[in-house]
Amino acid sequence: VFGSVARGDARDDSDVDFLVEVGPRHSAFFPGGLVADLEAILGRRVDVVEPEGLHRLLKDRVLREAVPV
């Protein structure tokens, strides 16, 4: 988890940002199924990002603040 939830400054309307590492053989439905499941469990919007999808200017900050779950 990274972003406002990881920093502890999330608001009621904040989404939850997940950084996930998956192998090269993940499902064609990734991350849609994961997002839907997490949103149902958490009751709020969820963003799922792979490390390769992070903008190079944000990557270091995201990796620093990320909290493993």
pLDDT in tens, 42-56: 999 999 998 888 999
Nearest partner of 10 among 37, 35, 34, 42, judged by Cα: 42
Task: Give me the amino acid identity at 50.
Answer: E
Q: Which residues of the chain, if any, have pLDDT below 70? A: 25-30
Q: Is this structure's pTM higher than 0.75?
A: yes
Cα-to-chain-centroid distance, residue 40: 15
The tokens 């590492």 sit on which residue?
Answer: 21
3-state secondary structure of 9: coil
Task: Give me the amino acid identity at 25.
Answer: R
CATH topology for 4-65 is Beta Polymerase; domain 2 (3.30.460)
Task: Give me the amino acid identity at 7.
Answer: R
